Amino acid sequence: SQQGEEDPQALSIQEGENATMNCSYKTSINNLQWYRQNSGRGLVHLILIRSNEREKHSGRLRVTLDTSKKSSSLLITASRAADTASYFCFTGANSKLTFGKGITLSVRP
Amino acid sequence: GAVVSQHPSWVICKSGTSVKIECRSLDFQATTMFWYRQFPKQSLMLMATSNEGSKATYEQGVEKDKFLINHASLTLSTLTVTSAHPEDSSFYICSASPGWQGSNEQFFGPGTRLTVL
């Protein structure tokens, strides 16, 4: 079953702009994780936010978590062409992660 | 740290042959390893969860006899696609979870692209 559902499905922005991606889930979680996948490559872990955290920063990334709304957002500030990739949110309630369909971000130079 | 490798990175084989894919955690011990399959422009589909020294747990719809998983050590898991057919062509990705502080964070390998002719 898929728990993490991201929106929008696709996002195209100009380099330097901020990109905001959202993720919604259905059941209780221990944590929520965001991953990036470049075309045809493996996944890279970006950031993990625990259920008792509301906001977390890592470089140009800012993640928020609202457990009452069962949603999370990933903000990439000052986007770069290299940020072009698919982004997935994963929810973890146990050792198994479930994946959404992902968001395709295109950053135009 | 936390690097996972896969070998081979790509493989082309004839229909009916078997293909083995290795997944290694290079700098940590992985209590659990996962195998995923990804079709073009789609999300990852979990195929099975493997714990060292025990039988893998397969997801519904995944044929155990078709996709053999062996988690021989805390740093190595293998996926063997037996009697491969063109419909098995896909991108296979493994991940490993060190289970640090109870976290379910996973570290992914670079993937293996299988093409069955």
Which chain A residue is nearest to residue B98, measuring alpha carbons?
A95
Omega into A8 within 30° of 0, i.e. cis? yes
Q: Tell me the C-alpha distance between A56 and B111, whole Å.
A: 29
How far is B15 from chain A, CA to nearest CA, in Å?
23
Mapping DSSP to helix (H, G, I), strand (E, B) and coil, where does residue B85 land?
Answer: coil
CA neighbours within 13 Å on the CB side: how many for B41? 4
Query: Hey, what are B90's tokens?
Result: 């896909």
Q: Tell me the C-alpha distance between B67 and B81, whole Å.
A: 5
pLDDT digits (tens, 9 = 90+) for B77-95: 999 999 999 999 999 999 9
Phi and psi at residue B16, to the nearest 5°: 100, -15
pLDDT 10s per residue in chain A (109 long)? 345 677 778 899 999 999 999 988 887 787 888 989 888 777 888 998 988 999 999 999 999 999 999 999 999 999 999 999 999 888 765 555 666 678 899 999 9
Mapping DSSP to helix (H, G, I), strand (E, B) and coil, where does residue A109 land?
Answer: coil
Residues B108, A35: C-beta atoms closer than 8 Å:
yes
DSSP state, residue B115:
E
Residues A48, B6: C-beta atoms closer than 8 Å:
no
